[in-house]
Structure 1
Amino acid sequence: MRPRVLSGMRPTGALHLGHYHGALKNWVRLQQDYDCFYFVADWHALTTHYEDREVIERNVYDMVIDWIAAGLDPEKATIFIQSRLPEHAELFTLLAMGTPLGWLERVPTYKDQIEKLKDRDLATYGFLGYPLLQAADILIYKATYVPVGEDQASHVELTREVARRFNHLYGRGSDFDARVAAAQAKLGKDDARYFEKQRKAFGQDGSTEALAKGEAIVRKAAETLSPEDTELLLGHLKGSGRSVLTEPQALHTEVTKLPGLDGAKMSKSYGNTIAMREEPAQVEQKIRRMPTDPQRVRRTDKGDPERCPVWEFHKVYSDEPTRDWVVKGCTTAGIGCLECKQPVIDAVLKEQQPWRDRAEAYLTNPKQVHWIVEMGTERARTVARQTMKDVRDAMGLNY
């Protein structure tokens, strides 16, 4: 089986170029090598926009169309809607029973969002608990990796802590010590002694080298250990019990950051976006109106590309010869700003055309995209239900 990747987006409607280059392009690439689960995080949208219910449904399908138009293949990736799976809410509730309040309050984006969204009432349990809901989204599919930027790495670390705590609390039955001893005996006397030494070293000082050596001993005995024994020993090595929930890793892959038309972050709220499927005439008009180097007032003034928002687009869309042409022409006043913008216009329109073509089939037949989401949701449900069975068993709730 391929390692599983999970990620999601809030349904903000049709996506813009910043979404594509910042996340979606990476999702398309990952589906070639991983078992990818991508979901519409509509419950997460309610944590900050709980009064805007009328736009969510339209936004959900607009966004999914953009995903498919960009190259997500429903045959390779599982595409689904969070709220169609009540198992997410159940796991969120059960995890909440044992998650310390301080863990949620220290999430960096918690205070940051409260500061940025002062126009909204965020004094709700839903907003405080959204990192734990995010953890439930990941853990319920036992994802190996979560593709994130540096600003979201803390959420993955919280998810790891939540999984570790759950496994510690509920991965140890009354016969835990006896089962561990029986599994260790299968390693052989010398390897069992060495394994125990590495376990203690990891527990005392968190040595990653000791952890790796202990895991190598378990892998070496793979033929003599059952899957349950392997899981048990690996959990024991890390100081937890049986790994009911999988600790995910942050997957830091190369992503391209594309700023908005004014050089600030591309955001609908700033009015500086180009939609992925925006009409060509509007795209051309927006780029032609982009601000340029403020010190280049006249055509004959020499400029500096580093002071110009258009240069950031060239970094993403232009090849090296074109960028060299821009630098030389701008710094010597050899080209005007409209000349500089034309290669960007051409490149953006060329990138967008396949998206518009692929999206057309779904815009004219909405039921087709509904069917794709239904099929993906059912595939996700099969995995989620199995995880919840394991969780209920571990917590003693399967009576």
Structure 2
Amino acid sequence: MYAERVLSGMRPTGSLHLGHYHGVLKNWVKLQHDYPCLFFVADWHALTTSYDQPDIIEKAAWDMVIDWLAAGVDPNQATIFIQSRVPEHAELHLLMSMMTPLGWLERVPTYKDQIEKLSHKDLTTYGFLGYPLLMSADILVYRANRVPVGEDQIPHLEFSREIARRFNHLYGREPGFEEKALEAVKKLGGKVGKRFNELRTRFQQDGDAAAVEEGKRLVNEAQSLSLVDRERLLGHLEGTGKMILVEPDALLTEASRMPGLDGQKMSKSYGNTITLREDEASVTQKVKRMPTDPARVRRTDAGNPDKCPVWQLHQVYSDGATKEWVRQGCTSAGIGCIECKQPVIDGILKEQAPMRERAQVYLDNPALVREIVNDGCAKARRLAQETMTDVRAAMGLNYA
């Protein structure tokens, strides 16, 4: 079994907003304490839709890394790197493209959706068609077995699992694999080895998923096995051969609850955002200008919080007592809309204060950001090279 490892990335599209923080970055900060994490700037992915605007990518990448650091991503706990600085991503993408059926790419749900949404751009490119395979390469080149995704991204992860499974099936047959796998079974001991063989038969003949899970547990609990023997047994169990690429599992994340200034989902395309490090005066003005319940034409008119975008922000930033004060004051016209907005302003500024403080260190010393990324790229590349050594050997490209 390979070590637990989490991988996630973001496209560099400019300054991040509070929706990114609540939807992704807060989770990253938590995960870095629980797993070895790799977080990368997906600059090649940015080119799949912005291939005609390459000049914006580099600045956006550095700004985004500062936003990550400001949000609390710790370079001493997580590896931060840039995708294009680890060329093994592209090499694995190329090699896997040799064995990836075209129909698998065309059936990815977001392919046609994105073409329709971005109809103003020509996306009839190989890069856009193949971006799910590049996403798979991003994950598989690190043998990352945990990927934080929302429900809508599950098809992409399943695609990566299918690619890993197909690769292992095609190329995971090392010379003498069956004999070596049977020798590894003997190392489990008589009773455990017999049980392992029963579970293997149950899975391969009947498709019993529970049998696979129990078989994996037996392998994991065996103390005397080498890493290579563990790989062989797992491949023998599932009938794939040696497990060269690891099938990733989803770490399901909750959808962001962060509404925009107009009540819709916070998004740059809607023009309703507050950026992570936006200055206090701008935040204050934006919230004060937010639309409220249209029924409250005058200060003395009663309102309904459920029809007011500001109330949605109270769900994120206000405690129970404040929300009760808002509901009571709004429905009775006891408070005005400006009064109602002040706790939201205070909550946002309080959340942003440590982000601005952390970011300032890197804004004052940009070389420190470069140093963090250079170190992260070196660490990531070492991991990627380990995988590619095995991949090349499996595909007959090991010209030693």
Report the TM-score, using the length of structure 1 for normalisation: 0.96
Q: Contact 2:82/2:377 (CA < 8 Å) preserved in 1?
A: yes
- Matches of 1:187 and 1:365 in 2, distance apart? 55
Which residue does 1:198 correspond to in 2? 199
Give matches, 1:264-343, under 5 Å.
264-343=264-343
Mapping for residues 51-90 of structure 1, pairs under 5 Å: 51-90=52-91
Alignment of 1:108-187 (within 5 A): 108-187=109-188
Does residue 353 (structure 1) correspond to residue 357 (structure 2)? The answer is: no
Match of 1:32, SS state, is: helix
Cα distance in 2 for partners of 1:119, 1:363 equals: 36
AA aligned to 1:73 is: D
Please tell me whether the aligned partners of residues 5 and 35 of structure 2 are also in contact (alpha carbons under 8 angstroms).
yes
CA apart distance, 1:21 = 0.7
Checking the alignment, whether the CA contact within 8 Å between 1:15 and 1:66 is kept in structure 2 is yes
Q: Does 1:33 align with 2:34?
A: yes
Determine if the alignment matches structure 1 residue 22 to structure 2 residue 44.
no
Contact 1:26 1:255 (C-alpha < 8 Å) held by counterparts = no
Deviation string 1:65-120 (CA, Å, 9 cap, x unpaired) is 11111111111111100011111000000111111112111111111111111111
- Assess, with a 3 A threshold, how the Cα gap between structure 1 residues 363 and 299 changes in structure 2: closer, same or farther: same
Q: Secondary structure at the match of 2:325?
A: helix
Any idea what the Cα deviations from partners look like across 1:151-202, whole Å, max 9, x if unmatched?
Answer: 1121111111111111111111231221222222333444333322222322
The percent identity for this pair of structures is 63
Gaps of 5+ in 2: none
Partner AA of 1:314 in structure 2:
H
**Partner secondary structure for residue 79 of structure 1:** strand
TM-fit CA distance, 1:244: 0.6
Q: How many angstroms apart in 2 are the aligned matches of 1:271 and 1:126? A: 28
Q: 2:5 aligns to what?
A: 4
Question: Which residue type is aligned with residue 272 of structure 1?
Answer: N
Residue 92 in 1 paired to residue 86 in 2?
no
Question: Over residues 29-52 of structure 1, what are the superposed CA-to-partner deviations in whole Å (9 max), with x where a residue is unaligned?
Answer: 111111110000000000001011
Counterparts of 1:241 and 1:258, CA distance in 2: 45
CA contact (8 A) 2:105 2:129 kept: yes
- Separation in 1, partners of 2:38, 2:114: 26
Contact 1:256 1:316 survives alignment (8 Å): no
Q: Does 1:241 align with 2:249?
A: no
Task: Report deviation, 1:223.
Answer: 2.6
Residues of 1 paired with 2:106 and 2:264: CA distance?
28
Partners of 1:319 and 1:310 lie apart in 2 by 14
Amino acid at match of 1:319: D
User: Using the alignment, how far apart are the partners of 1:77 and 1:70 within structure 2?
Assistant: 13
Tell me the SS of whatever aligns to 1:38: strand
Q: Report the aligned-residue RMSD.
A: 1.6
SS at match of 1:31: helix
SS in 2 for 1:37: strand
Partner of 1:390: 390
- The farther-off stretch of 363-372 and 20-29 is 363-372
Greater shift in the superposed pair: 59-68 or 321-330: 321-330
TM-score (norm 2): 0.95
Query: Could you tell me how far apart the structure 2 residues matched to 1:191 and 1:2 are?
Result: 23
